[in-house]
Amino acid sequence: MIRLVGSTLVVLLALTRTAAAQDDRWQVALDDDRYVWDIRLVRLDGDSLVVRQSDSLVRVPVAHVNEIRLIRKSEMQMAGGGTTAGAMSALVGGDDEVYDLAPLDFADRLRAVQKILLLHPSGP
């Protein structure tokens, strides 16, 4: 009985993580002030980060990545004359998870991207 409950919890946790990964939206800032946005991280392939943008796979050279940002979904309900500080924080990305790669050398950038992919595995 305990094994059944334990294995059921493991399956539910795996499904929850996969569903959350499918909802993750990312933005990559490049060193020439361009952005690759509304993407999903797929894998690291050599010295390039492979991302899914719409229905295409795009290779982004890690050497040119300054920042990787996980865009968090925000929902704010303003009722009863509440303060707007929370709404402003959501609008400017206060809840986003930001990885600043600009000060890192190339090898450290690759390690940072590997760690991000481990922390946020892509869905099937």
- Name the phi and psi angles at 83, rounded to 5: -70, 155
pLDDT band at 18 (very low <50, low <70, confident <90, very high): very low
Instruction: Indicate left, alpha or beta for 80 from its phi (over 0: left) and psi (-120 to 50: alpha).
Output: left
pLDDT of residue 79: 64
- In angstroms, the CA 16 to CA 103 distance is 34
Q: What torsion do the CA atoms of 120, 110, 30, 94 make, to the nearest 10 degrees?
A: 40
The pTM for the full model equals 0.70
pLDDT of residue 36: 96
Enumerate the H helices of the chain as residue ranges: 2-23, 85-91, 106-119
Residue 31 has pLDDT above 80, yes or no: yes
pLDDT band at 46 (very low <50, low <70, confident <90, very high): very high
More confident residue, 82 or 73: 73
- In angstroms, the CA 121 to CA 107 distance is 21
Percent of the chain at pLDDT > 90 equals 58
Q: Kindly list the distances between the CA atom of residue 69 and the CA atoms of 5, 38, 47, 118, in Å, as whole numbers in the listed order.
A: 36, 10, 19, 15
